[in-house]
């Protein structure tokens, strides 16, 4: 079972955007985060991952950028569960549930395949 809180993030090499995963003990979200904005205005978009206690741990979670750094994704147990397109700010996936797959368009998921080996 999960600990009370989890956090992971990955800053794009340009230093302007970050993918941020946060579980606060009640719910988990994946955020597209603008580094230059003032405090309280940094979240550009959010995807709900899970409400309640997840069945994964901190070490099961990873945030990564695709090869061109145009998309940022959230991996849970090496499966892509959420992603943002940084140009359109569109979010995909979320609603984690063990034994299911996230609803992420194939072309979005394919952009991450060089970063991990999908199960």
**19 domain residue, yes or no:** yes
- Rounded to whole angstroms, the Cα distance separating 27 from 34 reads 21
pLDDT in tens, the chain (119 residues): 445 899 999 999 999 999 999 999 999 999 999 998 777 678 999 999 999 999 999 999 999 999 999 999 999 999 999 999 999 999 999 999 998 989 999 999 999 886 655 54
**1 domain residue, yes or no:** no
Range of the domain at 61: 6-110
**118 domain residue, yes or no:** no
Q: Do residues 66 and 112 lie in contact, with contact meaning Cβ atoms separated by under 8 Å?
A: yes
Helix (H, G, I), strand (E, B) or coil at 103: coil
Total domain count, the chain: 1
65 pairs with which residues across the strands?
72
């Amino acid at each position: 079972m999960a600990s009370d809180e989890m956090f992971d993030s990955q800053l794009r090499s340009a230093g302007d955007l970050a993918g941020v995963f946060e579980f606060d003990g009640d719910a988990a979200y994946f955020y597209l985060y603008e580094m230059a904005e003032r405090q309280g205005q940094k979240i550009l978009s959010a995807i709900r991952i899970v409400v309640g206690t997840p069945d994964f741990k901190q070490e099961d979670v990873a945030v990564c950028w695709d090869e061109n750094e145009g998309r940022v994704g959230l991996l849970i147990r090496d499966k892509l569960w959420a992603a943002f397109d940084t140009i359109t700010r569109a979010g995909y996936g979320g609603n984690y549930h063990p034994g299911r797959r996230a609803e992420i368009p194939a072309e979005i998921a394919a952009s991450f395949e060089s970063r991990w080996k999908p199960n």
